[in-house]
Structure 1
Amino acid sequence: MINQLPARVWFVGAGPGDVDLITVKGRDLIARADAILFAGSLVQSAATQWAPAHCLIKDSKEMRLEQITDWLIEQAQPGKVVIRLQTGDPGLYGALIEMVQPLDKANISVEVVPGVSSAFAAMACAVESLTLPEVTQTVILTRVEGRTPMPEGESLQELASHHTTLCLFLSITLLSSIEHELKAAGWAEDATVLVVHKASWPDEQQIIRGTLANIRDKCREAKINSQAMIIISPTLGARHWPDLKKSKLYDAGFTHRFRRAERISNKEQS
């Protein structure tokens, strides 16, 4: 049982915004929590709605890293369920390791519960697919260099040169740089761009579609300058393509371990 565990902190992914997109495991942990520290600048307070009456709930939006880890260490006692509730998935731009290291030094166990990323939520809200057969089978999750430098070999131009799906986090104020870097990587001015602000957030989600040439103006007009996922992909808009390469998995002529291929007549093929 969780209440018999030694001192431990659970890092729980709250998902992209809609509180119903938290995992069942995450929700069940919240329902047993003694203390929750949630990232209030990105996570809705409604995500703590399942917490019991005795649970201590604190917002970390004004806290420094040391204050966050000190609070977690102070609350972590044998038998207590202590949760750090983070937006999206804790392992993706979540400063997870920075917070885990002090806990390791304090001999406090750590467990991570994954969450739905805003990249996946954005594509779901727009009814788009990150991958398509014979179009792209690769997804790059990255960001544009700003105050945080990018490692060597990971400039946007270098990554964009693969012409696969690009999901850009934390970069909505850098659309001018994105346009410049993608054009330098060979993307056309009319390449489709999708921007989703607060994907899955009830009453706050905005979906903006445009091109490299006009997406900046469209986002400025919509006053989107934070909490937005930018996706550039050769798959965008495929819902309306007249011709689409189909998956082999469901092809009647394709054999896999659950189904034998069917014989297809020339008439059926035509």
Structure 2
Amino acid sequence: MIYFVGAGPGDPELITLKAYRLLKKADLVIYAGSLVNPQILEHCTAGTEIINSAHLNLEEIVALMTAAYAQGKLVVRLHTGDPSLYGAIGEQMDLLEQKGIPYSIIPGVSSFLAAAASLKREYTVPDGSQTLIITRQQGRTPVPTAERLSSLAVHRATMAIFLSAGMIEGVAAELLEEYPPDTPTAVVEKASWEEERILRGKLQDLEKMVKEAGITKTALILVGNFLSDSGRSQLYDREFSHEYRSSQQ
């Protein structure tokens, strides 16, 4: 079997038990270059073949997986975070299906979840934003016109922006078209890694603070009042009844 495995955000302990067991049993691990913390590869056993995919193209990666599968080996294709978010696994799965090779996907902890934990914030705030938009700035990889940052910002919902720190000038300009200048923002570089860095400020200062910090990649940009607002959920309110508890007035 071939397994697409989420390596989590970086902390080597933030992988699932299933991912850990697969790394222990794997004959071949192909990992996504500098995006995966090398400490995670220490979960592999001696003798496991470990290949960095940073210098390989799609066909070369699939050829390695296919050859190992033909030899009866257990293959782990290790992607950062969760494979379903900007993991580029679709084209790999398409080629495997064309060859009739079975595969399975093991989800992982995404960096946007690790970032919220580091910030000690809740994306969905009672009586506040109930929507989280996960997106990216248009770069060499285009995005649909309706999904440009300026279009999504109309909702003024909580936003987590991936893969865009190197284009911070454009990110800030598009967000400022709709969000108020004093909207809280945060940038989390390498969420959950030992060298994690967190920047906090207002949207009007986003470009300046990111450039001054020299952050250009491996960072998540977070925007929204969730960074400053808090609320109280009715779920545990003593005066709120539900299926499992009667109100106490």
CA distance in 2, matches of 1:166, 1:260: 36
CA distance in 2, matches of 1:34, 1:255: 53
1:87 maps to which of 80, 87, 90:
80
CA distance in 2, matches of 1:52, 1:178: 43
SS at match of 1:20: coil
Tell me if 1:102 matches 2:89: no
Matches within 5 A, 1:107-256: 107-185=100-178, 187-202=179-194, 204-238=195-229, 244-256=230-242
Contact 2:6 2:81 in 1 (8 A): yes
Aligned to 1:40: 33
Residue 81 of structure 1, CA deviation: 1.5
**Structure 1 unmatched ranges of 5 or more:** 1-7, 239-243, 264-270
SS at match of 2:3: strand
137-146 or 209-218, which moves further after superposition? Answer: 209-218
CA distance in 2, matches of 1:181, 1:257: 44
Q: Deviations over 1:85-122 (max 9, x none)?
A: 00000010000111111111111111000011111111
Aligned to 1:241: none
SS at match of 2:43: coil
CA distance in 1, matches of 2:176, 2:214: 24
Contact 2:162 2:220 in 1 (8 A): yes
The structure with the larger Rg is 1
1:45 is matched by which residue type in structure 2? Answer: P
Contact 2:136 2:163 in 1 (8 A): yes
SS at match of 2:160: strand
Residue 129 of structure 1, CA deviation: 1.4
Residue 78 of structure 1, CA deviation: 6.6
CA distance in 2, matches of 1:37, 1:174: 29
1:190 is matched by which residue type in structure 2? Answer: D
Aligned to 1:75: 68
Contact 2:168 2:210 in 1 (8 A): no
Contact 2:185 2:203 in 1 (8 A): yes
1:143 is matched by which residue type in structure 2? Answer: R
CA distance in 2, matches of 1:208, 1:113: 31
Q: TM-score scaled to structure 1, two decimals?
A: 0.89
Structure 1 residue ranges (4+ consecutive) displaced by more than 6 angstroms after TM superposition: none
Using the aligned pairs only, state the percent identity.
Answer: 39
Q: TM-score scaled to structure 2, two decimals?
A: 0.96
Contact 2:176 2:204 in 1 (8 A): no
CA distance in 2, matches of 1:158, 1:109: 39
SS at match of 1:90: coil
SS at match of 2:54: coil
Q: Deviations over 1:8-36 (max 9, x none)?
A: 21000000111100111100111111110
